[in-house]
Structure 1
């Protein structure tokens, strides 16, 4: 899946997706690296952040990332200054929404056990 980001903000993407959410950064192919952006793995899925010249955040469309433990992520997001929004529950999951540093909407879901 791909989200857009503004140019020259790769470090902010690494802090949010790598340091806070714990996604593993993937090396971009050399012929694409000059375009900017950052790639991450999330289980079997890859999340690509690509630079968009006239960037506008995705305010409604969003990825939903399944996590093992939501509470520590909520604490880390809050500590880092990211808003956490609770929404109506859906069967089998506890979930929240947050925004990445660029305003893209991100859903985090923890399976109920």
Structure 2
């Protein structure tokens, strides 16, 4: 068993160990979402579009949150949107997995709370927080 940073095993930390056999099957990174202060959309768009030269996605096929902008970077997307400072940020990476249901079972069996996200065409998704408060989204392409 691979030790955790504290030197304790997953069992000692209260995690189920059946996922030595049953694991989340990650396929690839889908997108990263980062935030800018509310009211700063113009500055954010100028930086990412003009300074970094990123290509804005004008119509991703679904409604974007207010003042959000999606960019294409190679085969992944960068999502930027306004957020007031708060303890639990919505910033996150999003990973494509082969089975969202299998991933849900593994996380819930380890006491991880799941948050169902709004539906998107051709995708099922949910998010969860790691033990340190980081938001992680998992997506299954339908």
- Give the TM-score of the pair, scaled to structure 2: 0.42
Which residue does 1:90 correspond to in 2? Answer: 120
> CA contact under 8 A between 2:129 and 2:136: conserved in structure 1?
yes
**CA shift digits 1:70-113 (9 cap, x unpaired):** 1011011001010001011011100001111211000000001x
**CA shift digits 1:14-50 (9 cap, x unpaired):** x69x965456xxxxxxxxxxxxxxxxxx6479xxxxx
**CA shift digits 1:50-71 (9 cap, x unpaired):** xxxxxxx762110000001010
Equivalent residues, number:
74
Which residue does 2:89 correspond to in 1? Answer: 59
Rg bigger for which structure? 2
Runs of 4+ in structure 1 off by over 6 angstroms are none
Aligned-residue offset at 1:11: 5.9
In structure 1, list runs of 5 or more residues that go unmatched.
1-8, 24-41, 46-56
Which residue does 1:10 correspond to in 2? Answer: 5
1:44 and 1:104, CA in 2 relative to 1: closer, same or farther beyond 3 A?
Answer: closer
1:89 and 1:43, CA in 2 relative to 1: closer, same or farther beyond 3 A?
Answer: closer
- Give the TM-score of the pair, scaled to structure 1: 0.51
SS in 1 for 2:92: coil
Residues 1:102 and 2:97 aligned together = no
